[in-house]
Chains A and B, each alone.
Chain A
């Protein structure tokens, strides 16, 4: 990232429902264990990404994941947990 872009990044009005592409590698905090489906979920804004794998104790952790599929209309996606990077602050 160039020096200038560090200053200019984020100069836009961001949607509450970000979209993702299949195959994309992302870093996210795992938000919760969905009570209904029993799946791990990372909520990015109002978009929900469901994990294909991973244990319950990664809730709150920052993880590396790969997007397997994404539904633009429903703002829902499926991801695979690759690596746990760190716990959340505090």
Chain B
């Protein structure tokens, strides 16, 4: 590329690195869509058709798709192979990886510290009856997910604890499950440590703190409507009559000090919104969470980090005295704790994002990306309102097909960026459209990953409680109309796209540089 700078500005070469080499495909530029297209097909079959929510399975799918795509590339395949390397080393992927690792450590440490126990205590202290319990569950699940960032984690934790408690109080089971999923949508959308929030920000060149602050208005509008709907429906929909005391269940799992982690959560949110780097923001939150865990006896240091030293080790004689070590049989040796498990939990997703970005790079250099984009801009996104509507509906459609919402978000993100940049739609707005519809749709449809993981938890309840019968389990096909926050969030964005509510242009305000996040 030539020097396009006028004056003392940065040269393009310094920004983009060496020239990119185009890849030619047998059958034309559309054939470069094969790796990503095949992956999407794999994802639909694996998650949508077979109902397997295994991220490593998607990694296998992307690997197979990259190999198949290579056979359609013309000339020396070295160029195709190098493009995989170039895609995987793109900053967008590396930034998401770093943010995920930090977010994983933080959320896992909050869970180890009994955050959900604190919320159980709050629900018990509020003493709400069966009719208001779905509304209260929505608020607490939203708080919980905003703290830990993973809606899937919230779906599991709340389905295991709040669902049986709500049933005992006389809440309607379908409404209750819908409220849990709604809370998961809220936090997945808003939390700075949410994987979808991180992807939405880094792919649209926006800082995470600014993204969280700018999407607050949409989330709150949808949440107020959803809360009102749960209050109304809670009164209208009857619960089950079970002669058991919910109190016992609450008392067993109640941990008031766990609520201290609301402070850990706020530390991350406030420092991120203040404009500090997300790595710094989460590190402060993590430090506060670990200190709270230890000082208030919420969890020992060994729950945060534990070296399982084999008894055959030379250090076995003294290592056991350390607070973060224990001596174990050789076959049980290893490292564990929330820092270890939280980071490790993201490993499959990290590999997946690297491979998807590699597949996207092949599509870009092969011309397939340009072809789809041209078609969209000439036929669908022909004005700024239509462009935004296309972004909303496109994100929703891809998420309704690929049920692991982060994977779907990564796949659609380049189009949101390109279409939005064509009309100079602000990076915050683009990130918000991308994430809201990703978060919402991932918890609505019966084949959605969040719905299925909650359903799987409900299926285990009859084994835990004698009074809980299989008839009380809510089937995923029953719950989709009642995920009120998901529907309202989608509706808010559809209306926003059609009317220009919340629309900002790149000229209105600058996002912090993506390198600062």
Contacts and interface: CB of A to CB of B under 8 A. Distances in A.
A53 to B, nearest CB: 7
A86 B385 CA distance: 26
A89 B414 contact: yes
B146 interface: no
Given A27-B506, A84-B15, A89-B414, 18 more contacts: A10-B429, A12-B502, A14-B500, A14-B505, A16-B500, A18-B507, A26-B506, A28-B507, A42-B424, A43-B422, A43-B424, A44-B506, A83-B7, A83-B9, A84-B10, A88-B418, A88-B421, A89-B421
A55 interface: yes
B507 A44 contact: yes
Most A CB atoms within 10 A — which of B9, B384, B504? B384
Contacts of B503: 10, 13-14, 45
A42 to B, nearest CB: 7
Contact of B500 (A13, A54, A55, A85): A13
A82 B273 contact: no
Interface string A41-56: 0111110000001110
A57 interface: yes
Contacts of B504: 9-10, 14
A90 B213 contact: no
A61 interface: yes
A11 interface: yes
A45 B424 contact: yes
A64 B507 CA distance: 10
A3 B423 contact: no
B274 A44 contact: no
B379 interface: no
A54 to B, nearest CB: 7
Nearest to A5: B213
B1 interface: yes
17 contacts: A3-B273, A7-B213, A10-B214, A10-B217, A14-B502, A27-B507, A28-B424, A31-B423, A31-B424, A44-B424, A45-B423, A54-B6, A57-B4, A81-B6, A83-B8, A84-B11, A88-B417
Interface stretch (B203-211, B338-346, B451-459): B203-211
Contacts of B378: none
Interface string B403-433: 0000000000110011001111000110000
Contacts of A11: 217, 502
Given A44-B505, A44-B507, A89 B205 contact: yes
Contacts of A3: 213, 273-274
A44 B423 CA distance: 5
Interface in A30-85: 31, 42-46, 53-55, 57-58, 60-62, 64, 81-85
B421 A87 contact: no
B360 interface: yes
A90 B507 contact: no
B5 interface: yes
B352 interface: no
Contacts, number: 139
B78 interface: no
A19 to B, nearest CB: 10
B243 interface: no
A27 B426 CA distance: 10
Contacts of A53: 6
Contacts of A1: 509
Contacts of A6: 209-210, 213-214, 273
Nearest to A31: B422
A20 B383 CA distance: 19
Contacts of B429: 10
B217 A8 contact: yes
A12 to B, nearest CB: 7
Nearest to A16: B384
Interface in B72-118: 92
Nearest to B505: A44
Interface string B503-517: 111111110000000
Contacts of B9: 64, 82-85
B16 to A, nearest CB: 5
A45 B382 CA distance: 11
A86 B501 CA distance: 28
A88 B425 CA distance: 12
Interface string B473-517: 000000000000000000000000001111111111110000000
B331 interface: no
A26 B508 CA distance: 8
Contacts of B274: 3
Contacts of B509: 1, 9
A59 to B, nearest CB: 10
Contacts of A43: 422-424
Contact of B216 (A7, A18, A46, A62): A7
Contacts of A9: 214, 504, 509
B12 A61 contact: yes
A86 B7 contact: no
Interface in B23-41: none
Contact of B5 (A45, A84, A90): A84
Nearest 8 CB-CB pairs, A to B? A83-B9, A14-B503, A6-B213, A89-B417, A90-B414, A44-B424, A29-B421, A26-B507
Contacts of B12: 57-58, 61, 84, 87
B364 interface: yes
